[in-house]
Amino acid sequence: MAHISGAEGRDDRPNGQTLFESIFASDRPDEETLIVWRGQRCFALLNLFPYTSGHVMVLPQRGVPRLDDLTSDEYHELWEGVRMAVAAVEVAYQPEGVNVGANLGRSAGAGIPDHLHVHVVPRWSGDTNFMTTVADTRVVPEALTESWRRLVDAWPTA
């Protein structure tokens, strides 16, 4: 609930931090924060509101809204993190495909526009159903803690 309640007023930066910076800097265990990988400049965590099981986000540790705001080192590690996230998703879930994308700015669909993040979403033929369309509800067949474990176990080591 801390993540959900923290999502309100996203553009406000309590303590000068974005929501994702607060999650990264917390003293809570990664299993609780759903962080699956920590790099030198970037990290990956599960999406709290996933489209499917295994929906992970890769982002810089520093909250910036645009790709142009990244340093060269952050940029390269971000995309290396995306590569590793795709590899982990493929090992953990054996999807038929993977969506990779970033929503840059609120008008582009970014729910948290002040901290750039890249979505990695495993996909299967027929993985959408009437629930999303009719009830604006997603059905995810796996608990987030199980998704976390699967991705941590599948994450490439180099």
Q: What is the secondary structure of 111-122 as a DSSP string?
A: SSTTS--EEEEE
117 flagged as catalytic: yes
Spatial strand order of the sheet with 118-123 comes to: 35-38, 42-46, 56-60, 118-123, 97-101
List the one residue out of 105, 76, 85, 104 whose CA is nearest residue 147.
Answer: 85
SS3 43: strand
Q: Exactly one of 55, 76, 115, 117 is catalytic; which is it?
A: 117
Tokens (6 digits) for 51: 């489209």
The total number of residues written for the chain in this structure: 158
The rounded distance, in Å, linking the Cα atoms of 150 and 29 is 16
Which residues are catalytic, by number? 117
